[in-house]
């Protein structure tokens, strides 16, 4: 009961407190939106790595596909933004089906195969210039709309949209992990051959996790396209959309939902507010150093270290 009450307070604070406190500062709201964008991709990556047992370096493929599909549907087909965003997420799911042959690979081979797919999609977006605009990109992408008089295209509106997406992802991740599917996935991690013997289709389980992770990433990519109002292949399929969420998820603790989310927010804000001002051209190198330090000090991530210290403090107080 106490845990549920704490979660309710946190959610209320995120929806009401943050806009009230930071809503007047466009720069800080932009940082909040960007950090939640990273958090959404980090959670999608953690779901695939933790439940699916697959490490991916190619989530930028799903991010870019979702971005382009949503942008093109609104620019050239006249679709409303929110349905176009959903189509972008579904388009990323379809793109993930092209990666089906890679599911039989394991470990670094799978990770490198997915990275190759991301590069293929980037090249396709560059070459099909008649549709995507090629290297010149797409401009004047419609912003998030006004609904019932509320402008979701504002910084506060965008914050509420991406916050809602991230929380929906977290809830879906939570219930999936506690379901029979989650149990089968954990069993598959212990012994994939044993799960096949009892009739569990490990390839289909992996594919379902890849599709769900792609859907989440594609939706975030679509949201981002309507936030920045411009796309070009090197940005949409940039490796940053894979690398930074990985760093964030591992730093916070990718085996927990909270760890992935907290890691994303902390890593991005520390990078933008502190490291970037100190080292304008090499600030991301420091992120790598911090990640290595965290892995050495607390392999389970930042949240595990904080919880461990809080339990010790409570024990010492008692």
Q: pLDDT tens for residues 80-98?
A: 999 999 999 999 999 999 9
Asked if residue 61 belongs to a domain, the reply is: yes
User: In total, how many domains does the chain have?
Assistant: 1
**Residue 276 forms part of a structural domain:** no
Residue 23 resides in a domain: yes
More confident site: 280 or 49 = 49
The pLDDT of residue 195? 66
Does residue 287 fall inside a structural domain?
Answer: no
Task: Output the CA–CA distances (angstroms, integers) from residue 118 to 6, 40, 112, 164, 249, in the order listed.
Answer: 39, 18, 10, 27, 20
Residue 206 lies in a domain: yes
Q: What is the mean pLDDT of residues 264-281?
A: 83
Q: Is residue 177 part of a domain?
A: yes
Report the relative pairing of strands 146-147 and 150-151 from DSSP bridges.
Answer: antiparallel
Rounded to whole angstroms, the Cα distance separating 233 from 42 reads 21
Compare 1 and 141 and report the one with higher pLDDT: 141
| Contact call for residues 42 and 261 (beta carbons, < 8 A) | yes
Q: Tokens 């939570």 belong to which residue? A: 174
Q: What is the pLDDT of residue 251?
A: 87
Q: Going along the chain, which residue ranges are E strands?
A: 138-139, 146-147, 150-151, 230-231
* Element of type H or E holding 140: none
305 inside domain: no
- Residue 226, domain member (yes or no): yes
Model pTM? 0.91
Q: What is the CA radius of gyration of the chain?
A: 20
Rounded distance between C-alpha atoms, residue 46 and residue 90, angstroms: 20
> For residues 5 and 39, what is the distance between their CA atoms, to the nearest angstrom?
23
Confidence of residue 193 (pLDDT cuts 50, 70, 90): low
Dihedral sign for Cα 257, 260, 266, 269, please: negative
> Structural domain of residue 85, as residue ranges?
2-245
- Tell me the helices (H) and strands (E) count for the chain, helix number first: 17, 4
Q: What is d(CA 142, CA 227) in angstroms, rounded to the nearest whole number?
A: 9
Q: How far apart are CA 72 and CA 233, in angstroms?
A: 13
- Mean pLDDT taken over the chain: 87
């Amino acid at each position: 009961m106490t845990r549920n009450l704490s979660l309710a307070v946190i959610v209320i604070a995120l929806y009401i407190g943050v806009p009230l406190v930071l809503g007047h500062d466009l720069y800080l709201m932009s940082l909040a939106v960007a950090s939640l964008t990273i958090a959404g991709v980090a959670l999608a990556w953690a779901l695939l790595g933790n439940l699916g047992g697959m490490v991916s370096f190619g989530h930028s493929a799903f991010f870019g596909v979702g971005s382009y599909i949503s942008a093109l549907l609104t620019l050239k087909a006249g679709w409303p933004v929110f349905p176009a965003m959903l189509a972008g997420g579904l388009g990323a799911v379809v793109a993930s089906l092209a990666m089906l042959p890679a599911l039989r690979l394991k470990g670094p081979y799978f990770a490198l195969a997915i990275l190759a797919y991301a590069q293929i999609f980037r090249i396709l977006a560059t070459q099909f210039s008649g549709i995507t605009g090629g290297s010149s990109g797409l401009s004047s992408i419609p912003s998030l709309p006004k609904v019932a008089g509320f402008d979701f295209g504002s910084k506060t509106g965008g914050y509420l949209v991406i916050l809602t997406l991230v929380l929906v992802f977290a809830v879906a991740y939570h219930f999936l992990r506690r379901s029979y599917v989650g149990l089968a996935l954990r069993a598959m991690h212990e012994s994939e051959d044993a799960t096949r013997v009892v009739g569990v289709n490990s390839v289909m389980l992996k594919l379902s996790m890849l599709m769900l992770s792609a859907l989440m990433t594609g939706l975030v990519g679509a949201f981002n396209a309507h936030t920045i109002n411009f796309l070009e292949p090197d940005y949409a399929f940039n490796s940053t959309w894979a690398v930074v969420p990985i760093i964030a998820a591992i730093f916070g603790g990718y085996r927990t939902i909270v760890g992935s989310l907290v890691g994303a927010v902390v890593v991005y804000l520390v990078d933008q507010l502190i490291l970037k001002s100190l080292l304008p051209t090499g600030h991301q190198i420091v992120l790598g150093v911090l990640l290595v330090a965290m892995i050495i000090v607390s392999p389970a991530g930042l949240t595990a270290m904080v919880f461990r210290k809080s339990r010790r403090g409570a024990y010492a107080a008692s």
